[in-house]
Amino acid sequence: MNKSDEKTRRSIAESFDSKESGPIAGFDETWLAAEARYLAEKRRYRMATGVAISFALIAVFIGMLPPDGKQQLPDFELAEELMTTTLWNAPSDALMPEYPTDIYQEVPEMLVPTDLSEGTLL
């Protein structure tokens, strides 16, 4: 045998003879201790999940509350308010010729026939 084998054998024998470790626990004690650790971890997980869900519900509830101190924006009527206050012109408007009459105001109305089965007159 080598010196290393003898040294290993001595260290193993000393570890088994050591009185510090105490008696080895049986299967039932080990199983109960493992089960207690598992149940404690499960309890902590459930508690953390409950707290997270509570915080999420509180955040949603607070988000749904109407704003008290915030100023309301005025409601714009697109046809009147917004279009009359806009002063924007397209850059290509300078290239367009200006006509003295508005062509859209000068379009005649469609003629309505007296006989409804014939359709519109063009």
Domain ranges of the chain: 23-66
**pLDDT, tens digit, for every residue of 57-113?**
999 998 888 777 666 666 656 666 666 766 777 788 778 777 777 666 676 666 666
Indicate whether this model's pTM tops 0.75: no
Average pLDDT taken over every residue of the chain: 78
Q: What are phi and psi of 26, to 5 degrees?
A: -80, 175
Backbone angles phi, psi at 106, to 5 degrees: -95, -5
Task: Return the pLDDT at 32.
Answer: 94
- How far apart CA 120 and CA 122 sit, in angstroms, is 6
Cα 64 from Cα 56, distance rounded (Å): 12
